[in-house]
């Protein structure tokens, strides 16, 4: 941080000498780059449209093989839960039950979320090491375990865009404040737990 410190001092001196009434002169210190320069970092997918999904494809069988090599230690056989994380299978239909089960199949409103997340984060021990084809294959495998694509499926950008996820319409935007309380000072109802004994 030696270099940062020097710049800070220099910047201070600059502000002191150049500042005018109403604020410092605004400097432009960014370096222009092109979208091509940023390509390796540009990994986000606009998941409702699938915009940003790359070329490539993968099958359920390929995904199962990669999963057995790189994921099973933490996620367990058939992604049913392992040493580091719970199950990634099932839960569809559980949203209206007392215990909701959250998995990529039950929870994600758009299929591309799985691609975006695995490409940026998994395997946890070596993130951003998977090829796009591998990420498609793993998407195929995990969605087939969740019954959302057939066992013989090949998954690509087009397939992901076409999957209608069960929780597609499960979301509402923030509408808080939703709880309106009054500031009672005397003879107020006593504090009660949510579940009364």
Partner 1 sequence: MTHLVHPVSKGICSQYDADRLESEQRRTFLRNSALFTGAALTASAFSAAPASAAKLAVSQSNKEMGREIEPEAYGMPSKFESHVKRRRTDVLKNKQHWSDWSMTPIHQQPGIVTPNGLFYERHHAGTPDINPDEHALVIHGMVKQPLKFSMNDLMRYRAVSNFNFMECSGNTLTDWQQAKATTVQQSHGLLSCAQWTGVPVSTLLDEAGLDPAAKWVLFEGADGSAHARSVPIEKCMTDTVLAYAMNGEMLRPENGYPLRAFMPGWEGNVCVKWLRRIKVSDKPWHLRSETARYTDPMPDGKWRQFSMIMECKSVITRPSGGMMLQGPGTYEIEGFAWSGNGSVKAVDVTTDGGVTWHQADLEGPVLDRCLTRFRHTWEWKGGPAKIASRAVDSTNYVQPTVADIAKQRFTSGFVQHHNGIFPWSVSENGEVKNAIA
Q: Which of residues 63-92 bind ligand HEC (CB under 6 A)?
A: 70-71, 73-75, 84-85, 88
User: Are residues 81 and 72 in contact, defined by beta-carbon separation less than 8 angstroms?
Assistant: no
DSSP state of 169: T
Nearer to partner 1, 21 or 177 (CB): 177
Name the β-bridge partners of 57: 156
146 in contact with ligand HEC (CB under 6 A): no
Backbone conformation region of residue 186, classed left if phi is above 0, alpha if psi is from -120 to 50, else beta: beta
- Cα separation, 85 vs 66, in Å, equals 18
- Cα separation, 142 vs 88, in Å, equals 8
143 in contact with partner 1 (CB under 8 A): no
Nearer to ligand HEC, 114 or 157 (CB): 114
| Residue among 138, 145, 160, 163 that touches ligand HEC (CB under 6 A) | 138
* Smallest distance from ligand HEC to CB 110, Å: 13
23 binds, among partner 1, ligand HEC, none (CB under 5 to 8 A by kind): partner 1
CA distances from 41 to 35, 56, 77, 184 (A): 10, 18, 32, 54
Which residues between 1 and 40 bind partner 1 (CB under 8 A)?
1, 3-4, 7-8, 10-11, 14-15, 23-24, 26-35, 37-38
188 in contact with partner 1 (CB under 8 A): yes
Which residues between 108 and 127 bind ligand HEC (CB under 6 A)?
114, 117-118, 122-125
| Residue among 120, 131, 147, 152 that touches partner 1 (CB under 8 A) | 120
Residue 85 CB neighbour total at 10 angstroms:
13
* Smallest distance from ligand HEC to CB 127, Å: 9
CA distances from 48 to 35, 101, 174 (A): 22, 22, 18
Name the β-bridge partners of 59: 154
């Amino acid at each position: 941080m030696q270099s940062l410190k020097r710049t800070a001092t220099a910047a201070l001196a600059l502000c002191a000498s150049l500042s005018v009434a109403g604020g410092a002169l605004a400097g432009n210190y960014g370096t222009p780059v092109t979208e091509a320069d940023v390509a390796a970092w540009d990994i986000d997918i606009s998941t409702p449209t699938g915009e940003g999904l790359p070329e490539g494809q993968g099958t359920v069988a390929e995904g199962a093989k990669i999963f057995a090599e790189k994921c099973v230690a933490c996620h367990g056989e058939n992604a049913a839960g392992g040493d580091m994380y719970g199950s990634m299978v099932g839960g569809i239909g559980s949203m209206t039950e007392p215990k909701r089960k959250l998995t990529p199949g039950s929870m994600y409103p758009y299929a591309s979320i799985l691609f975006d997340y695995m490409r940026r984060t998994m395997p946890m021990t070596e993130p951003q090491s998977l090829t796009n084809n591998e990420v498609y294959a793993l998407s195929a495998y995990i969605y087939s375990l969740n019954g959302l694509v057939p066992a013989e499926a090949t998954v690509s950008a087009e397939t992901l865009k076409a999957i209608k996820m069960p929780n597609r319409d499960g979301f509402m935007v923030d509408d808080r404040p939703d709880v309106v309380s009054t500031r009672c000072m005397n003879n107020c109802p006593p504090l009660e737990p949510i579940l009364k004994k």
